[in-house]
Structure 1
Amino acid sequence: MPVRSDGGPYPLHGSAAGSARRQPEAASVAAAGADPAPEQVGYRGPTACAAAGITYRQLDYWARTGLVEPTVRPAYGSGTQRLYSFRDVVVLKIVKRFLDTGVALQNIRTAVQHLRDRGFADLERMTLMSDGATVYECTSPDQVVSLLQGGQGVFGIAVGVVWRDVENALSQLHGERVDTGETVVGHNPTDELAARRNRAG
């Protein structure tokens, strides 16, 4: 299915990754000298599982098969702990929701690759729709309506809602500073979005 140029929803394959319009960058909200920089904080496997609502077996399988790999620190043999970023945990939760609705694993892989390629500002505003066979990206309410009117898109995920769910869950759990190994309690992962926007702006 070719990418539509009329502002419609975009299937997540081919050149769809760059088709959505970028939104204006948000203003700075992170204060200097406060919490550790977001890229310095990772979450261990059990914490990522708790926030995403998955089992450790699922987490391990998805990491070993390359579906969702930890971007902060992969496991190097026995004795090392994987560390997942906030964005990784958001993607884990999205994968879980798609699997629960019967979306094929190969289509989920395509969607995950697309999410990896997107900036944080776009990710938070995105809605992912699926008819069970294809996953579509929608970046406006009109695109969602257009997809539904076409008889497609029987299931949708507002990524911003998942983002906030994970943010709330992680705020009650422990993170780990990458540089010192120090445990961080109640770190606010929202700072990651702010930091990414600031660097892009």
Structure 2
Amino acid sequence: RGPVASGAAGISYRQLDYWARTGLVRPEIRAARGSGSQRLYSFRDILMLKVVKRLLDAGVSLQQIRVAIDHLRSNGAEDLSRVTLMSDGVSVYECTNDNEVIDLLHGGQGMFAIALGGVWRDVQGSLAELPSERLNPVVDTE
């Protein structure tokens, strides 16, 4: 649900709603359908939300973030845990091995990195700390 997803990603519910409405990160499980309906976010969605937050915090433009997120959507969930996103603040690069990281650093310009495996573990930890919810209501037999 939205409040759980925003809490696990470290963003406000307002940001979550805006990003869903603009298509930056759309809920894979269920989109909102009219007033009162709730969006349902997958683990992968929450991972993407947290990546967007980290890129924004690092000063990357929303335009570059959209390009990076669209590219990451095309990868399988398991592949994401081995990806490191590198950015010089202008462009975002996807690295899947140490040599690619080293090649980017050889240019001598300042770069920052987001290892998605670490973000993956952060999201797992955040979700594990949340109280669980029942999907089906308990029926009182008394």
- TM-score, with structure 1 as normaliser: 0.65
Alpha-carbon distance in structure 1 between the residues aligned to 2:92 and 2:71: 10
1:98 paired to 2:34: no
Give the residue type in structure 2 aligned to 1:182.
N
Alpha-carbon distance in structure 2 between the residues aligned to 1:134 and 1:121: 24
SS in 2 for 1:83: coil
1:89 paired to 2:43: no
Matches within 5 A, 1:107-186: 107-152=64-109, 154-174=111-131, 181-182=135-136
The residue that corresponds to 1:69 in the other structure is 26
CA drift of 1:151 comes to 2.6
Give the residue type in structure 2 aligned to 1:121.
E
* Contact 1:95 1:108 (8 Å CA) reproduced: yes
* Contact 1:68 1:88 (8 Å CA) reproduced: yes
Any idea what the Cα deviations from partners look like across 1:136-176, whole Å, max 9, x if unmatched? 01011121111011134611100000000001111122466
Distance 1:170 1:100, change over 3 A: same
CA drift of 1:182 comes to 3.2
Alpha-carbon distance in structure 2 between the residues aligned to 1:59 and 1:182: 26
What 5-or-longer segments of structure 2 have no aligned partner? 138-142
Any idea what the Cα deviations from partners look like across 1:40-95, whole Å, max 9, x if unmatched? xxxx1111111110001110110010000111010001111110000000000000
Distance 1:153 1:120, change over 3 A: farther
Alpha-carbon distance in structure 1 between the residues aligned to 2:69 and 2:109: 20
Distance 1:153 1:90, change over 3 A: farther
SS in 1 for 2:93: strand
Give the residue type in structure 1 aligned to 2:44.
R
Alpha-carbon distance in structure 2 between the residues aligned to 1:80 and 1:176: 17
Structure 1 vs Structure 2: percent identity of aligned residues? 64
The residue that corresponds to 2:140 in the other structure is none
Give the residue type in structure 2 aligned to 1:129.
M
Give structure 1 regions of 4+ aligned residues with deviation exceeding 4 angstroms. 174-177
Which has the larger displacement, 149-158 or 101-110?
149-158
Task: Provide the aligned C-alpha RMSD in A.
Answer: 1.6
Higher share of residues assigned strand: 1
Distance 1:77 1:174, change over 3 A: farther
Give the residue type in structure 2 aligned to 1:116.
R
Distance 1:176 1:83, change over 3 A: farther
